[in-house]
Chains A and B, each alone.
Chain A
């Protein structure tokens, strides 16, 4: 999605809930870094130190999924997938374009 629209226009942030399954971050982080490097993940991957406990507290979400937010900071979709996610992404990108002042 980020490749399609461009990282300068749309940011995709991965929130990693894995640490919730590990006893110590010291053992988890090197493992995670290796995987990110191997798969050349170059978009932000943030760590939810307490796993889903953290995502519940912030977003009231307790499972894998996503949150689509437009340029005004308004949530436009929650746990959207496939075509619906594409549609929402196009919608928020369109909304952002409209907001740009004319030169």
Chain B
């Protein structure tokens, strides 16, 4: 019902709310992003069969076929701080802004993976993927994805109160805070004014 109302009111709301992703002065007003056809793609998931995993020859043949691609069938443009950013939706049977699993990792998350071309080079990589259930970073602004049309023809974004999250090359490192096994807090602020490298790893 809500989607129906949105569609019906779209022509009226558009000039006020930022039809086509124009920025709005009101930081709480939802932005209805109209999505158009796209022929872009992103690296997909390499799914190997048990047979391929057991047989080196079959595995080799499979790998030589190259990395699979996932088609990004729709794209919309969002203007943030004077820059246009393209947001992409993948080919999917349905779209969701909710994760039905407990963890938000790539392996678990069931919400739609939205790709954002942050540097405008037209190449979509793994790092450009943002799950719709979490605040989405576009440039240095955060947005909540509140709705995605069933046919991917529009996305509703709302300026988020979430702190900056997600790393983007050339952009400010988001705040973080972790604790060592000895209880010492290491945060962006504690490392400030000196270069640092964060290495995500596993001890055991």
Contact = CB atoms under 8 A, between A and B. Distances in A.
**Interface SS of chain A:** mixed
Contact of B200 (A65, A73, A76, A93): A65
Contacts of B198: 13, 15, 59, 66-67, 69
A27 B121 CA distance: 46
Interface in A10-35: 10-18, 20, 29, 31-33, 35
Interface residues of A, number: 58
Contacts, number: 163
A73 to B, nearest CB: 5
Given A10-B196, A11-B195, A13-B197, A59 B179 contact: no
29 contacts: A10-B197, A11-B194, A11-B195, A11-B197, A12-B199, A18-B202, A20-B103, A45-B180, A45-B181, A46-B180, A47-B180, A47-B181, A48-B200, A53-B103, A57-B165, A58-B174, A59-B167, A60-B137, A61-B167, A66-B199, A67-B197, A71-B193, A73-B173, A75-B168, A75-B170, A75-B172, A78-B169, A93-B195, A95-B195
